[in-house]
Amino acid sequence: MRTAVRPRSRLLATAVALVIAIPSIIGFSVPMAVAAEDPADLSSYAPPGTVNIGPNAQVLTDTAQQLAPRLVDTDLGESPMRLWVAGNLGADAGGQVTLTLRKTAAVHRVVVFPRADPGFYGVYFPIDYTVSLLDAAGASLWSTRITHPDSPENIIDAPDVVDLPTPTEARQVRIDVLKRQAREGGIFQLSEVAVFADPPAPPVDYQPAGTINLARTSAVTASSSYEKPDETWSAAFAVNGVDGPADGWSTDPYERNQDPLKPAAVTLQLRCTSDLARVVVYPRQANFPKDLGIDVSSDGTTWTSIGRSLGNPGIQDEPQVFDAPAGTTARFVRLNVETRNGPSGNDGYLAQISELAAFGTAENCVTLVKPALLLEPGMTDDSWFDALTPASTYSVSSSKPQVATVDSSGAITARKKGTTAVTLKAGEHTLTVPVTVVPQVERVGDEFSISAFWPPTVDHVDDEQYRNMADAGIDLIENVQAETITTEQNLKLAALAHEYGMQIVAQDGAVSPSLTTMSAADAAAYAKRFMNVPGIGGVFLVDEPADATDYAQSYNAIREAAPEYYPHLNFFPYNVYGSASDGVAAMQKWLDATGSHSIDGPEYLMYDRYPFEVSRTTYEEMFTNLNTVRELGLKNDIKTSTYLQSIGITDYMRRPTAEEIRYEANVALAYGYKQLSYFTWWTPTKRSQDFTDGIMTADGEKTDLYAPVQQLNAEIHALGPTLMRLDAEEVYLAGAAYGQATVPADWFVQPVSTGDLVISRMVDRKNGDEYLFVVNNSFTDGQDMTLRIGDSVKAVREVKRSNGKTGGRITLSDGSLLTDRLAASEGVLYKLER
């Protein structure tokens, strides 16, 4: 395979006339060598005086396995995790990629980058495709066709560069694939599409002097909304302060609405009744409402119009500005979509915007951010309320200052054990927050954690289901569902979790997609919103990032602002990154980017891998992942964590038995893991994959796995205080090795029986005591275990899984045999006496 990166050939395209039919306007490229550009440096392709406007484009593809925005993330595909991959196969399957630019721009050059990871540069690149420029209405302005010889190796050694004969004012750039590389059935992959154009004009500031954007702190609802934050769509994104193509609100495409006159509305409930000066509606790009209006209300019932805008194109360059009449006050602001733009397409008639801003002033507007506080003596909280304007004036008091005091700025400081209420008054507004002071707040990471991924869905967030989780031994709840990752739902989940002795990992879906680009100050402020709220133990950053270092700045800021809170980030299994060493490199890169770590802190190095596939159990991959992460944890002084498969997916993963769940848990314990999370607790529905029942059904009924999981969790919690002190220094497999290290011939423990075992020597970090964790490496058959223990060990004591206490002393002499009956999947922890 050719892997050297050579100077790329320039594609000088022929200009064509403005026509509608694309096939009639094809121009052919003429190769011409150019020396200055570097395929690893995107900026080196910029013609003088131009900038790459691709990152501000909205990307649409006709099929995708990986998210389309990766095509404009400026990453040139040196890691296979940063590619865009078409979602189908076939040399003749075609493919289309459309970049809708933020505004019409004079385009000079388009550069199409292939995947660029070592050994695969230029592989799966199309061999015949067109690059076209279109106007806002979708009419073709110019096009060229690019062809390459097919090859079983790489198609190109450098990016395809398409130079326009003259700069062309365009709103869209489209790639249409006519033929793919035949290799491996016709895969289509790209890493980046760069669009070099004249620099855009400086953005207009639509905010009137002396006002703030009241929408940023409002509660937003929509009559129809596509709630997929991971795809950058949510009603909450309409008020997150980010205008342009990055994110926004859309009516629900699954409604398949065929009526352009079907109304839709986005309603803002402002924090307080406010003086309104201006409302601005920012386009995301496509599907801007054709006819729209802005209404205001003091009660949400009686509405008054402050303006309408009619006949807008679907692709809108500029925001719509509505200046409110002097003296306008409002508690509610509503965007009314009267007519949607077409054509309808597969998703029906849609209405989409990027941002809805409401500029005005709100005197003495204060709101409660945290419904309650849980503090230790000496701790301070100054973010329990929010003053909308700096000019707000307020008075504060504590009902029991001996428990907690409050200063003139509103900062509460805990003094001694007890409860108090702190009251803040600002004009007509009064806020009260209950404060509980305890000697020590339980923190994630202090004890062994058992967590639940995919907890009860929004309709089942109630006492019964949270009692079920607590009774089963769940400690930590990962808040991951679109319907529950709102401010209101986080607080509701936290209150229930606290009542039943659990904690949640909080997540705000309006914020989390921005964590890769957020400033350190904003990330710290985000974390402070959750600090000291009873029932919140951590902040959810991301699940399975392509490159975890994208989150390093936010992670570090959250960790610094909230050092006692768990910052949750979970890696893919190693094979997604390539080889086992690639997985190690991805994790180590992350660990290096996030500074020093401490095994006594709230952090974990976490990944997921699900071994129970439909037709096999992936033992080798499971053990390799367990061991490489174990070693990384020891090297970097950080606790390790993984997920337990407790559910099946049709045609992919079988539903595990109770013995299989016990098996993967005990093996993870032997490898020194300190947090185990069930994937999943609740049965997911309305997902792209078809799930079997989990531990709980989608209707909230216990399945056959509930009681065994409850028993397993009780045993883990009994061992937990001991396991939290132990490092798995050496782990060997006896019998079936699955590619792992086997027991050395000179090791102090030698298996005599022939059964399959996992044997782990664990060391207490506090006092150096040694332990032996032995697991039956079979989830189907029990075995009689016999180990020959060297004369350096005088005795052993079993740490009981029933209560965590050490059992009777078993005296050993030189060459003594340790025997035990191990049920299928069973694990036993012994304390050694040297």
Q: 699-705: long-range contacts (C-beta < 8 A, 24 or more apart)?
A: 700/456, 700/460, 700/464, 700/465, 702/468, 704/658, 705/646, 705/658, 705/661
The backbone torsions φ and ψ at residue 517, rounded to the nearest 5 degrees and listed phi first, read: -115, -5
CB 398 within 8 A of CB 422: yes
Domain end, chosen from 724, 759, 783, is at 724
What H or E segment, with its residue span, contains residue 381?
Answer: strand 380-381
Kindly report, residue by residue over 716-735, the tens digit of the pLDDT. Answer: 999 999 999 999 999 999 99
What are the DSSP E strand ranges found in 79-202?
84-85, 96-113, 128-134, 140-147, 160-179, 189-190, 192-197
In whole angstroms, give the CA distance from residue 174 to residue 417: 65
Q: Is the pLDDT of residue 613 over 80?
A: yes
CB 556 within 8 A of CB 520: yes
pLDDT band at 391 (very low <50, low <70, confident <90, very high): low
pLDDT band at 87 (very low <50, low <70, confident <90, very high): confident
Nearest to 438 by CA among 412, 419, 459: 419
Burial 694-709 (b: 16+ CB within 10 A, else e): bbbebebeebebbeeb
Nearest to 655 by CA among 681, 602, 616, 693: 693
* Interval 682-702 mean pLDDT: 94
Residues 15 and 145 in one domain: yes
3-state SS assignment for residue 459:
helix
In whole angstroms, give the CA distance from residue 670 to residue 618: 18
Q: Is the pLDDT of residue 797 over 70?
A: yes
Pairing relationship of beta strands 160-179 and 10-12 according to DSSP bridges: parallel
Neighbour tally for 691: CB within 10 Å: 20
Question: Is position 205 within any domain?
Answer: no
Spatial CB neighbours of 806, under 8 Å, sequence gap ≥ 6: 797, 798, 799, 800, 831
Question: Is position 443 within any domain?
Answer: no
Supply the CATH number for residue 177's domain.
2.60.120.260
CB 488 within 8 A of CB 458: no
The backbone torsions φ and ψ at residue 164, rounded to the nearest 5 degrees and listed phi first, read: -75, 140
pTM, to two decimals: 0.83
Neighbour tally for 302: CB within 10 Å: 10
**Least confident piece of the model among 60-74, 237-251, 739-753:** 60-74
- Residue-level pLDDT at 399: 98
What H or E segment, with its residue span, contains residue 476?
Answer: strand 476-478
CB 34 within 8 A of CB 185: no
Rg value, the chain, Cα = 30
3-state SS assignment for residue 627:
helix
Spatial CB neighbours of 616, under 8 Å, sequence gap ≥ 6: none
* Residue-number span of the structural domain to which 489 is assigned: 449-724
Supply the CATH number for residue 376's domain.
2.60.40.1080
Number of folded domains in the chain?
5
**% of the chain exceeding 70 in pLDDT:** 95
CB 337 within 8 A of CB 351: yes
Residues 769 and 692 in one domain: no
* Interval 688-711 mean pLDDT: 96
**% of the chain exceeding 90 in pLDDT:** 79
Supply the CATH number for residue 739's domain.
2.60.40.1180
Question: Is position 673 within any domain?
Answer: yes
The backbone torsions φ and ψ at residue 528, rounded to the nearest 5 degrees and listed phi first, read: -65, -25
Domain end, chosen from 706, 724, 742, is at 724
- Residue-level pLDDT at 482: 80
Output DSSP code: residue 247.
Answer: -
Q: Is the pLDDT of residue 16 over 70?
A: no
Output DSSP code: residue 229.
Answer: G
Residues 391 and 475 in one domain: no
Kindly report, residue by residue over 417-439, the tens digit of the pLDDT. Answer: 999 999 999 988 899 999 999 99
- Residue-level pLDDT at 66: 65
Kindly report, residue by residue over 108-138, the tens digit of the pLDDT. Answer: 999 999 999 888 999 999 999 999 999 988 8
CB 830 within 8 A of CB 795: no
pLDDT band at 295 (very low <50, low <70, confident <90, very high): very high
* Interval 335-352 mean pLDDT: 91
Q: What is the mean pLDDT of the chain?
A: 92
Sheet holding 757-764, edge to edge: 726-734, 757-764, 770-776, 827-833, 795-799, 810-811
Report CA-CA distances (Å) from 423 to 53, 401, 431, 799.
Answer: 50, 12, 6, 51
Residues 698 and 737 in one domain: no
Locate all alpha helices (DSSP H) within 656-735, ordered by sequence.
658-670, 706-723
Question: Is position 203 within any domain?
Answer: no
Residues 21 and 101 in one domain: yes
Q: Is the pLDDT of residue 492 over 60?
A: yes
What H or E segment, with its residue span, contains residue 470?
Answer: helix 463-471
Supply the CATH number for residue 486's domain.
3.20.20.80
Neighbour tally for 492: CB within 10 Å: 18
In whole angstroms, give the CA distance from residue 201 to residue 194: 19
3-state SS assignment for residue 125:
coil
Residues 230 and 253 in one domain: yes
Question: Is position 442 within any domain?
Answer: no
Question: Is position 125 within any domain?
Answer: yes
Kindly report, residue by residue over 621-646, the tens digit of the pLDDT. Answer: 999 999 999 999 999 999 999 999 99
* Interval 67-95 mean pLDDT: 86
* Interval 168-193 mean pLDDT: 95
3-state SS assignment for residue 658:
helix
- Residue-level pLDDT at 203: 84
Residue 28 tokens, joined: 């052919």
Instruction: Count the residues in the chain.
Output: 834
In this structure, is the dihedral angle defined by the CA atoms of residues 719, 720, 725 and 727, taken in order, positive or negative? positive
Residues 165 and 236 in one domain: no
Output DSSP code: residue 183.
Answer: G
Kindly report, residue by residue over 225-267, the tens digit of the pLDDT. Answer: 998 877 788 898 999 888 888 789 999 999 999 999 999 999 9
In whole angstroms, give the CA distance from residue 707 to residue 79: 43
The one-letter code for the residue type at 756 is D
- Residue-level pLDDT at 21: 28
Residues 142 and 221 in one domain: no
- Residue-level pLDDT at 516: 87
Question: Is position 231 within any domain?
Answer: yes
Domain end, chosen from 702, 724, 746, is at 724
Output DSSP code: residue 197.
Answer: E
Burial of 36 from C-beta contacts in 10 A (0-12 / 13-18 / 19+): exposed
The one-letter code for the residue type at 217 is T
* Interval 28-54 mean pLDDT: 77
Question: Is position 459 within any domain?
Answer: yes
The one-letter code for the residue type at 1 is M
In whole angstroms, give the CA distance from residue 304 to residue 253: 30
Residues 571 and 512 in one domain: yes
Residues 217 and 234 in one domain: yes
Kindly report, residue by residue over 551-607, the tens digit of the pLDDT. Answer: 999 999 999 999 999 999 999 999 999 899 999 999 999 999 999 999 999 999 999
Output DSSP code: residue 766.
Answer: T
Residues 690 and 757 in one domain: no
Residues 93 and 137 in one domain: yes
What H or E segment, with its residue span, contains residue 573?
Answer: none
In whole angstroms, give the CA distance from residue 642 to residue 669: 10
Q: Is the pLDDT of residue 7 over 70?
A: no
The one-letter code for the residue type at 350 is L
Q: Is the pLDDT of residue 10 over 50?
A: no
pLDDT band at 22 (very low <50, low <70, confident <90, very high): very low
Kindly report, residue by residue over 525-556, the tens digit of the pLDDT. Answer: 999 999 999 999 999 999 999 899 999 999 99
